[in-house]
Amino acid sequence: MTTPFRSIVAWVAWPGILAACIVATQASFALGQPIAGFYVTYLAFAVGLLLLERWMPHEQAWTQSDGQLGADLTHTLVSNGAIQGLLMFSGMIGLSAAGTALGEPNFGLWPRHWPLALQIVLGLIVSEFAMYWAHRIAHEWTPLWHFHAVHHSVEKLWIVNSGRFHFVDAVKSVLPGIALLLALGAPMDVLTWLSALGAFIGTLTHCNVAMRFGVLSAVFNTPELHRWHHSMDLREGNKNYGENIMLWDWVFGTWFNANRRPPATIGIPEAMPVRFRDQIVWPFRRAFREAHGMSATVVETAPDLRGPRLCERSEAI
């Protein structure tokens, strides 16, 4: 039952949480501890979202276990956490510093004289262009889809599976934006801010919290937009490719937000193994089978639909 208080929380939760994370991140930068501060902020952020998911879930059915907690956490810690953490924090900082040294103070085309806030906005626009196409190609080109399908095989959305990415998919998603920013000479502060913002917004997109967004969904990748992106109907699912902002979805005609509730049944037609190690191997086996004309286990679905299934035996791929 929706109460006036819950209605208020639903409207202020997304912008309020993101704003609080930004303030905390800025404080950690001011204290000279951006990475340590980020992890402390992210821990509090994650705990708060988990509590909200229990108190006011968007889909009650998604509060039930899907048997994938271990796999989701392992993907986050190993595939997404290790690779994206390394590249987007340690690696990006080191590469940015090395690149800057090549031509201080005018290395690249980056407008370093702009205020930092404007540079961050520019960095979002530039990096999102690369990430938009990396994401879209992963949906439209079968060899990359096999890796991205590990993420889309989830049968519910909640913050724990926001980091469920095959390591190949994680690298594919991260590197284009980094490379473009480094080529333009973006400074370390911009890169670290973008990595922090991406972590907060990316986790928020998967949260199972009843929120309201209004015009925010025209600008940012909100949970309501990402729920459409996980739809089984490809007319809805092959939309909303933006990772943080929706600018390039507007430009290329893939922004989608119907005036109805997004579907609660999500997933893919392929039978995805249950265990983490088998999920890591699955895209390679699938590609091998297709290359040699071998059939794979696929769930029967209507045309243009992806259906959610997890196979019980890892060999059924």
Residue 82 confidence (pLDDT) above 70? no
Model confidence over 34-48: pLDDT tens digits? 888 998 999 999 999
Domains of the chain, by residue range, sit at 4-265
Instruction: Give the mean model confidence (pLDDT) for residues 309-315.
Output: 37
CB 112 within 8 A of CB 119: yes
Kindly report which listed range (30-39, 97-106, 281-290) carries the lowest average pLDDT score: 97-106
Residue 84 confidence (pLDDT) above 80? no
Instruction: Give the mean model confidence (pLDDT) for residues 183-206.
Output: 93
Residue 298 confidence (pLDDT) above 50? no
Confidence band for 181, pLDDT divided at 50, 70 and 90? very high
Residue-averaged pLDDT of the chain: 86
**Whole-number pLDDT of residue 317:** 30
CA atoms of 312 and 317, how far apart (whole Å): 10
Compare 171 and 132 and report the one with higher pLDDT.
132
**Whole-number pLDDT of residue 296:** 53
Instruction: Give the mean model confidence (pLDDT) for residues 271-290.
Output: 92
**Whole-number pLDDT of residue 92:** 47
HEC secondary structure over the chain? CCCHHHHHHHHHHHHHHHHHHHHHHHHHHHCCCHHHHHHHHHHHHHHHHHHHHHHCCCCHHHHCCCCCHHHHHHHHHHHHHHHHHHHHHHHHHHHHHHHHHCCCCCCCCCCCCCCHHHHHHHHHHHHHHHHHHHHHHHHHCHHHHHHHHHHHCCCCCCHHHHHCCCHHHHHHHHHHHHHHHHHHCCCHHHHHHHHHHHHHHHHHHHCCCCCCCCCHHHHECCHHHHHHHCECEHHHHCCCCCCCECHHHHHCCCCCCCCCCCCCCECCCECECCCHHHHHHHHHHHHHHHHCCCCCCECCCCCCECCCCECCCCCCC
